[in-house]
Amino acid sequence: MLKTEHITKTFGSFQALQDVSLEVNEGEIFGFIGPNGSGKSTTIRILLGVLQATSGRAEIFGKDVWKDAVEIHKHLAYVPGDVHLWPNLTGGEVIDLFARLRGHKKPVDKDKWLERFDLDPTKKCRTYSKGNRQKVALVSAFTSQADLFILDEPTSGLDPLMERVFQESIRELSREGKSVLLSSHILSEVEKLCDRVAIIREGAIIETGSLEELRHLTRTQLLVEAKQPVTGLEAWAHELEETDGGLRIQVDTEQLDEVVRHLAGFGITKLESAPPTLEDLFMHHYERRGGGAS
Amino acid sequence: MKEQASRHTLELLRFYLRLDRIRLGIWLVALTFFTVIVPPAFLGLYESDQERQLMAETMENPAMTAMVGTGALDDYTIGAMTAHQMLLMTAVVAGVMIILLVTRHTRTDEEDGRTELIRALPVGRRAGVQAALLYTIITAVLLALFTGFGLYALQIDTLDFEGSLLYGAALGGTVLVFGGVTAAAAQLADTGRGTIGLSITVLLGAYVFRGVTDVTNETLSWLSPLGWVSKTDAYSSNAWLPILVMIAAALALAVAAGILQERRDLGGGLLPHRAGKANAASYLAHPAALVFRLQRTALITWGVGMFVLGVSYGSVLGDMEAFIEGNEMMAAVLDPTSDLSMTEQYLPMLIVVMSMMAAIPPIIAINRMRGEEQKGRLDPILARPVSRETVFGSYAGYAVLNMLLMLTVVGSGLFAAAAASMDDAFPFTMIWQAVLAYGAATALLLGLSLFLQGFFPRLLPLVWGYLLYSFVVVYLGSLFQFPEWVMNLSPFAHVPDYPVEEMAFLPILLLSGLALLLGGAGWAGFRKRDLEG
């Protein structure tokens, strides 16, 4: 569906992307996460054919993103994080225009989606808030019947209620077999929606895979309460913290089995285990690569 | 409370001046320069009293009064001549200057969200408007001093000290008034473009109203801010009362702007907004349609402006015969051996100036493409199955149509007014052909714009410089006897001066061909480059 191989991009002497390889399969929701300025939007603008990669190959639907941009865009919908619209056109006019530029007579189910996102189409774009401009772009995307959706931080201006509407809509797309590339730094959103993720930092992909696979690389958090004082965990525990009557520890997910066997001898009264969150994962990578996040 | 609302006004003022040190500097130097070069030129051309008086007689007709205002025609000294022919026009340009500058620091900042950032700091609510008004005062004083002392420094007999100061004060006063107008307009309209539009409308309204009343009833001209400029009668009776009126009007406008600002929300305007359409009009289905839709208002406004320009030039033609016969400066430019009438000989000069004016809207149309790119609004179009070639071609095609329309409209205005005021009017086709021929020169500027947009978008403003250069060398060229090559650098110099010269198609074809080549290269370049935004 979407594939990049070793793309790099330099702006003058600044290297914005190095060796970025991604693959989004059909029917997949692919999360693309990274801090501000890490190269998410540059990658997406290359995928849209607005910027030309300095080297490497990028294809969508098996076609070159630069040379065949027009052909690709017939079946692609894009929502930017910062939506710029024409101040003296109304939201409704913009949605219609976008559908026609796509070659459709009119947007499919426009009224339904306007209602769903609670958007007034008669207002001029200059009077819309950031969130409402984003809704214009989202309604335009959801009424487009595209096969691939490229969403660049699409919910950064939406309220929690609308975020939920958005998440439901994305799940519907995926049930219909559409593919989604969702760039975000809202990790809970990516965690809820995405099948696979790629983490980008300073222009390079530092990890990619399914959430399950990535979780293996990190630690599971355990909360233990036992009849006897628990000892001898130092060999496994990364962080050991005493709580009222119990212990909170983090262990490598691969060593979970050994840890539980060890704990069994102390007469466990309570054992809670939490999978690593994407946030842990993210921070983990940050620390491991000496990102200096703190 | 009052102090709170004005807090940090002076810091903001200093910030504005720092931002504008080059922009404002260029405006002031250019206005001063074009003011002080005129009296020496007059001095060289009209050496004797008789010559000057002859000039005064040719100026004494309603068309000229409508254009340049009233003057001391009975004692037409070099000073009176300068004040009569130059002061009002310079005041209009100074008005445009302050409208652009004040809008920049009021509504445009607000529209782009910068005012919000500033207001979130411990800066007073009124500081922004007050700083813009202080900025106006500083600009006015500088312009008054520069031009006043500049004229006095020429050491020409009739350019006395008081008259020179008054001349400068009239320009400064105009800046004050239109700075106030703009500050008030910025509270009414809710965009920078709207503010400029409203203020320019007031400026042109004042100009036209004064033109009508100067001809019919001079007392009524006191109702127009631009009427006050001529009423100073600099270098003759030296009336200071109009300057006091200007200061009073500026104060009133400043207070009005303050009161209006109190009555509105940040980001909002006071003019009502209509609800728009929920669905797009059926024609809005192609990038070219969008280009048209976005520039529709500008197209209509410019079209009306061009027609008025054509009419105002055309209405002069009726009195032109007498005017040219008594005018040595004109006689120096025109060829006395020609068998065409003097009016026909004068026609190309009018037409070349009108064509250059008509080149402005199509160049703006191409600049809009760059504006859209910078504001990130080309991205959403190109994310649809729309090629860059189509987008680029839409802007280029629109600009060419715009140019043809503007030339036709300005020619029609000239024709209509000439037909009404002359006994022996020109045929429309003659004027139309003469005007369209200059389309080839404008096309070259458009081709250059497209080339720059394709390869070096940052250099796009150079095209304005090229147009200004063309205006200076072609309009003043034969007067100042520039060398041939200086003239030939302008595309407008290569267009045949029909009907004085034969219609020659070779230069027109060459200019058009070069324009196509440049535009085509820009088209290819635009396909290859990264978009900004």
Average pLDDT rounded to a whole number, residues B392-417: 95
Closest CA to B15 of B146, B144, B117, B141: B117
Q: What's the pTM? A: 0.76
List of chain B residues whose C-beta atoms are within 8 Å of the C-beta of residue A85: 377, 380
Integer Cα distance of B412 and B392 in angstroms: 30
pLDDT tens-place string over residues B47-69: 888 888 887 877 777 767 877 88
CB pairs < 8 Å spanning A and B = 106
List of chain A residues whose C-beta atoms are within 8 Å of the C-beta of residue B190: 126
Structure-token pair, residue B12: 């903001």
Q: At what angle do helices B439-455 and B428-437 cross, to 10 degrees?
A: 30
Average pLDDT rounded to a whole number, residues B304-314: 83
Closest CA to A62 of A171, A148, A146: A148
pLDDT for res A63: 94
Give the closest of B278, B297, B379 to A92, CB-based. B278
pLDDT tens-place string over residues A120-138: 999 988 889 999 999 999 9
Residue A143 has pLDDT above 80, yes or no: yes
Tell whether A137 lies on the interface with B, counting CB pairs under 8 A.
yes
Torsion-angle region of residue A60: left (phi > 0), alpha (psi -120 to 50) or beta? beta
Q: At what angle do helices A160-175 and A130-142 cross, to 10 degrees?
A: 10
pLDDT for res A102: 86
User: In A102-143, where does DSSP find H-type helix?
Assistant: 110-116, 130-142
Q: At what angle do helices B342-374 and B462-480 cross, to 10 degrees?
A: 160
User: What ipTM is given for this predicted complex?
Assistant: 0.75
Stronger pLDDT, B487 or A288, i.e. the higher one: B487
pLDDT for res B146: 97
| Percent of chain A clearing pLDDT 90 (strictly above) | 49
Query: Which one of B294, B379, B384 would you mutate to disrupt binding with A, by most A Cβ within 10 Å of its Cβ?
Result: B384
Integer Cα distance of A292 and A287 in angstroms: 7
Closest CA to B85 of B235, B212, B279: B235
Stronger pLDDT, A92 or B482, i.e. the higher one: A92
pLDDT for res A294: 35
Q: Which residue of A has its CA nearest to B192?
A: A87
Residue B478 has pLDDT above 90, yes or no: no
Which residues, at least 6 apart from A252, have a Cβ–Cβ distance to it below 8 Å?
A: A218, A219, A220, A236, A238
Residues linked to residue A63 through DSSP beta bridges, in sequence order: A60
Residue B121 carries which side chain, given as an amino acid letter?
A: L
Which residues, at least 6 apart from B387, have a Cβ–Cβ distance to it below 8 Å?
A: A69, A70
Residue A293 has pLDDT above 50, yes or no: no
Structure-token pair, residue B232: 């100073």
| Percent of chain B clearing pLDDT 70 (strictly above) | 92
Strand A239-243 with A246-252, pairing: antiparallel
Average pLDDT rounded to a whole number, residues B232-245: 95
Integer Cα distance of B90 and A293 in angstroms: 59
A12 falls in which pLDDT band (50, 70, 90)? confident
Give the closest of A48, A86, A124 to B377, CB-based. A86
Stronger pLDDT, A219 or B162, i.e. the higher one: B162
Give whole-number Cα distances, A185 to A189, B171, B318, in Å.
9, 56, 72
Average pLDDT rounded to a whole number, residues A257-285: 80
Give whole-number Cα distances, B26 to B21, B33, B368, in Å.
9, 10, 24
B318 falls in which pLDDT band (50, 70, 90)? low
pLDDT tens-place string over residues A148-181: 999 999 988 899 999 999 999 999 999 999 999 9
Residue with tokens 């595309």: B491
Query: Which one of B279, B294, B375, B387 would you mutate to disrupt binding with A, by most A Cβ within 10 Å of its Cβ?
Result: B279
Integer Cα distance of B343 and A7 in angstroms: 68
Average pLDDT rounded to a whole number, residues B144-169: 95
Which residues, at least 6 apart from A158, have a Cβ–Cβ distance to it below 8 Å?
A: A131, A134, A135, A166
The sheet that has A55-60: what strands, in order across it?
Answer: A14-24, A2-11, A55-60, A63-64
Contact B385 A102 (CB under 8 A): yes
| Percent of chain A clearing pLDDT 70 (strictly above) | 95
Backbone angles phi, psi at B100, to 5 degrees: -65, -45
Tell whether A242 lies on the interface with B, counting CB pairs under 8 A.
no
How many other CB atoms are there within 10 angstroms of residue B320's CB atom? Answer: 26
pLDDT for res B1: 46
Residue A124 carries which side chain, given as an amino acid letter?
A: K
B347 falls in which pLDDT band (50, 70, 90)? confident
Contact A80 B379 (CB under 8 A): yes
List of chain B residues whose C-beta atoms are within 8 Å of the C-beta of residue A124: 273, 276
pLDDT for res B348: 82
Stronger pLDDT, A294 or B319, i.e. the higher one: B319
pLDDT for res A64: 94
Give the closest of A88, A93, A137 to B284, CB-based. A93
Residue A291 has pLDDT above 50, yes or no: no
Average pLDDT rounded to a whole number, residues B320-336: 59
Residue B342 has pLDDT above 70, yes or no: no
List of chain A residues whose C-beta atoms are within 8 Å of the C-beta of residue B386: 70, 73, 101
Average pLDDT rounded to a whole number, residues A48-62: 93
B268 falls in which pLDDT band (50, 70, 90)? confident
Lowest mean pLDDT among A168-172, B323-327, B498-502: B323-327
List of chain A residues whose C-beta atoms are within 8 Å of the C-beta of residue B293: 89
Average pLDDT rounded to a whole number, residues B305-311: 85
Contact B280 A100 (CB under 8 A): yes
Q: Contact A51/A14 with Cβ under 8 angstroms?
A: no
Lowest mean pLDDT among A2-6, B112-116, B265-269, B286-290: B265-269
Integer Cα distance of A24 and A38 in angstroms: 19
